[in-house]
């Protein structure tokens, strides 16, 4: 009993001493990063957006009390209105899903659905909040942390604790992105070159329909945000160039680290192609018209248009692969 009391008193003393200690530069940086993300990703007013609100109601109806947060990302936030809205629904658990969909989401997250609101459709990806958090820190492939290093907004959040968890995950996404991209980039480099170069690396790790130069437009649309974000991330080896009129960054990366990074990105490219095909196949079991959506997106970004016959539309997993292969050979996606 005496040893237990001693341990409890020591823990209390350590807690009080930690609270009294001044914050470290790393803690200051992390706090400032969270403040920036709260400012830019808070989503104030987005829930009242006439285009967004009906879909939030639909998501509440679909997932009920398990719905912890909803993120909006993609071209809608950059002012594009002739597009399908992209949502991420973060859940406590998968109980609102049929058992086989819950199993698929555990094996290969996220699940992607069409969500209807009146006569409009949106795309919604779903996964557990704790899986979302771990993906930003520990996932080898860039699928999650590359997306959420980019701007997004919280359209719904259940409570402040959940909000802080989501913001911390977004901070982790940006840190992971920079830490893994920097060894592959020439130094010195501007903020724009850092993010454009990093996004190009991640795009080569998926099957994507965007034209060359797409990442330039993404970064130019909100360069000030990327500048502020980069300046707050305490990434080992990345430092601003002294006495520079413009913000330039330099990094001191060993030859061994660069070689390891090159191998890792090569593996991500192979892994990403396999995962992309698997996710397309999985979406075909959950979308009402998966091939129509996929072909619409390919045409929107690449200009290539094809028409499906009734058999390909009805049984895409069996008969639609030749269509996708022809589009791939034409360069409709990479």
pLDDT of residue 3: 46
pLDDT of residue 269: 94
Helix axes 223-232, 25-41, angle to 10 degrees: 160
Q: What angle do CA 80, 81, 83 make, to 5 degrees?
A: 90
pLDDT of residue 18: 42
Q: What are all long-range contacts of 77-81, with beta carbons under 8 Å and residues at least 24 apart?
A: 77/151, 77/152, 77/153, 78/218, 78/221, 78/222, 81/51
pLDDT of residue 303: 61
pLDDT of residue 9: 44
Calpha distance 103→109 (Å, rounded): 10
pLDDT of residue 166: 95
Residues of the chain with pLDDT under 50: 1-9, 11-25
Beta bridge partners of 128: 91
Answer whether 242's CB lies under 8 Å from 222's CB. no
Q: Model-level pTM?
A: 0.81
Q: Which two tokens stand for residue 307?
A: 């028409």
What's the N-to-C CA distance of the chain in angstroms?
Answer: 65
pLDDT of residue 13: 46
Domains and CATH numbers, the chain: 38-275 (3.30.460.10), 289-330 (no CATH)
The alpha carbon torsion through 169, 175, 176, 177 (nearest 10 deg) reads 110
């Amino acid at each position: 009993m005496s040893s237990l009391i001693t341990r409890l008193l020591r823990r209390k003393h350590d807690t009080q001493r930690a609270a009294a200690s001044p914050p470290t530069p790393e803690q200051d940086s992390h706090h400032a990063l969270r403040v920036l993300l709260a400012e830019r990703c808070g989503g104030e007013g987005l829930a009242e957006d006439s285009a967004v609100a009906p879909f939030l109601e639909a998501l509440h109806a679909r997932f009920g009390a398990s719905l912890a947060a909803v993120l909006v990302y993609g071209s809608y936030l950059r002012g594009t209105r002739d597009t399908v809205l992209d949502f991420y629904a973060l859940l406590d658990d998968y109980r609102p899903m049929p058992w086989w969909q819950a199993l698929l989401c555990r094996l290969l997250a996220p699940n992607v659905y069409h969500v209807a609101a009146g006569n409009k459709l949106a795309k919604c990806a779903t996964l557990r909040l704790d899986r979302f958090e771990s993906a930003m820190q520990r996932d080898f492939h860039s699928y999650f942390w590359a997306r959420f290093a980019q701007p997004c907004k919280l359209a719904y959040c259940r409570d402040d604790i959940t909000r802080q968890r989501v913001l911390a995950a977004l901070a982790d996404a940006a840190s992971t992105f920079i830490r893994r991209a920097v060894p592959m980039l020439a130094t010195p480099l501007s903020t724009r070159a850092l993010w454009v170069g990093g996004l190009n690396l991640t795009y080569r790790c998926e099957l994507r329909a965007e034209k060359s130069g797409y990442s330039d437009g993404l970064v130019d649309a909100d360069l000030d945000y990327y500048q502020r974000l980069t300046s707050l991330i305490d990434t080992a080896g990345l430092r601003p160039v002294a006495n520079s009129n413009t913000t330039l960054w330099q990094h001191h990366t060993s030859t061994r680290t660069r070689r390891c990074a090159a191998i890792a990105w090569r593996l991500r490219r192979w892994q990403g192609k396999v995962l992309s095909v698997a996710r397309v196949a999985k979406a075909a079991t959950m979308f009402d018209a998966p091939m129509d959506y996929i072909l619409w997106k390919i045409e929107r970004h690449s200009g290539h248009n094809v028409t499906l016959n009734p058999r390909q539309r009805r049984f895409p997993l069996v008969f639609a692969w030749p269509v996708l292969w022809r589009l791939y050979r034409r360069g409709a996606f990479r």
